[in-house]
Amino acid sequence: MTLDQLIAAKYAERAARLAERNEKSKELRDLRSAEAPDEAREGEIQSEIRSLDTVIDGLVAKIAEYEAERAADVVADARAAETTPGAESPSENRAPAVVKTEARTYRQDQDKRGKLFASDVAAAFAGDFNAQARLQRHMQEERVERGAEEFDVRAVGTGAFSGIVVPQYLVSEFAGLPRADRPLADAMRRHELPATGMTVNLGKLTTGTTAGEQASENAAVSEQDADDTLLTANVLTSAGSQTVSRQGSERGVGVEDTIIEDLISAQRANLDSLILNRATTGLTNLATSIAYTDATPTAAELYPKLLQGPAQVEAAMLNAHPGDVIAVMHSRRWYWLQSQLTSTWPLFGQPGAAAQQAGVNYAERYGNGFRGVLPSGVPVIVDNNIATNLGAGTNEDEVYFVSQTEAHLWEDPNAPVLIRAEQPKAKNLGIDLVVYAYFAYMFNRVTHAQKINGTGLITPTF
């Protein structure tokens, strides 16, 4: 077997083992939900699951080993093709050197319109191991030729493989639509979405125990019955679709791949926007308001509010997850704060900032984690899914403060999912592309979120 065939075989074996493990997990759940669970059988199933986990871990390690070997082979082949000029004897007539390299998986001279690449993308989502192997080989070629950093920037994550990189000759003249992506969602506390059900639950202690001074020796000490409740969040669906004409798919250049990439990008931004702005449960509707009203706002006037926000989060959280407050703001507010000048300084020195400064910019790119810190060391997430049409003048944005640990997000590890269907639109020569993802979120297990809003956050003037 070739190395690619070995990798494909290991992927197939891993898929079979994962399916077997899922069946065992379902059997265990059903067993535990019975009125009189069979503890002996429960122990047997747990042992079988652990054995399967060991096998799966071994397969994952073997796949990684094979893929590393394949990547090393690609690099070695490229280096072997290099030539170093040597000194020629004046009396010898040498034939010109011929440098040979292995042909690329997807080539412009053989697949000018990207049809093979598009069909492999669709087939890979359907579980075609040969198509997945070709895409993996293509990605290794991209990584070698372009370098890991550029490759990672262009990769589009999926559930079937680590990334799809459209061949450069298909996209060199094409610019995708910019999106706000999902900065807040990526900073939230992640949970795996349960395999079934349309709700997720978190427990909350509503009545705690008490402690007090004992009145006298042998006197009864303080006692309070603890009580709890179950908080529920609905499982939501974020999805997008597009019908592509067969003519566009077959005669266009990378049309399906471009549409799929844009659908994934749109779905990511939509999920983040729902977390922020959805009616009733979005962060903007749960956060307690800190009003900043000013017809001529300045950063110096906003400064106390930037401390009031985390102060109130800390007062609500107390000793639960101390020090994990994050701020979320629109990019226009982040840059406006940096544009302001002042001759007055804080009374207290702030961590990581000079006395003359009210914060620090980390010089990170949009969507690349924390962009900097505010007073008291609160890290900042910049998210352009924050609405900028709020308030009576429909020109205000908001600044949010939330505990990162109490910002819960459940997602399917295989999301987003792609559906490619030809039959429904066959008479119209159309191809339906659908991208969707299930998710759930919760900010209010502990009521703590804060937001600065008001006329002081109107469209900034630079």
The confidence score (pLDDT) of residue 263 equals: 94
Output the six-digit token pair for 255.
């049309």
Coil vs helix vs strand at 114: coil
Least confident piece of the model among 21-35, 123-137, 290-304, 420-434: 123-137
Q: Lowest-pLDDT range, 62-66, 75-79, 285-289, 395-399?
A: 75-79
Q: Report phi then psi at 330, rounded to 5.
A: -75, 155
Q: Is the pLDDT of residue 148 over 60?
A: no
pLDDT for residue 319 is more than 60: yes
User: What pLDDT score does 68 carry?
Assistant: 81
Note the pLDDT tens digit of each residue in 245-259. 988 888 776 788 888
Q: Which residues of 119-153 are buried (b: 16+ CB within 10 A; e: fewer)?
A: ebbbbbbeebbebbbbbbbbbbbbbeeeeeeebee
- Whether residue 356 contacts residue 345, with contact meaning beta carbons closer than 8 Å, is answered with yes
Q: pLDDT averaged over the chain?
A: 83
Structure confidence at residue 74 (pLDDT) = 73
| CA gap 14, 10 in Å, rounded | 6
* Confidence (pLDDT) at 287: 97
Top pLDDT among 3 and 402 is at 402
Does residue 35 carry a pLDDT above 60? yes
Does the structure show a pLDDT above 80 at 357? no
Q: Cβ contacts of residue 288 below 8 Å, gap of 6+?
A: 312, 447, 449, 450, 451
Residue 347 has pLDDT above 60, yes or no: no
* pLDDT, tens digit, 9 for 90 and up, residues 392-435: 999 999 999 999 999 999 999 888 999 998 888 888 899 999 99
Note the pTM of the prediction, 2 decimals.
Answer: 0.63
Q: What is the pLDDT of residues 126-142, one digit of tens each?
A: 677 888 888 888 878 87
Residue 353, pLDDT > 80, answer no
Task: Give the tens place of pLDDT for each residue, 157-192.
Answer: 444 444 455 566 555 556 678 999 999 999 999 999
Any idea which of 10-24, 207-221, 373-387, 444-458 has the lowest mean pLDDT? 10-24
Instruction: Show the domains of the chain with their CATH numbers.
Output: 3-78+107-171 (no CATH), 181-204+226-462 (3.30.2400.10)
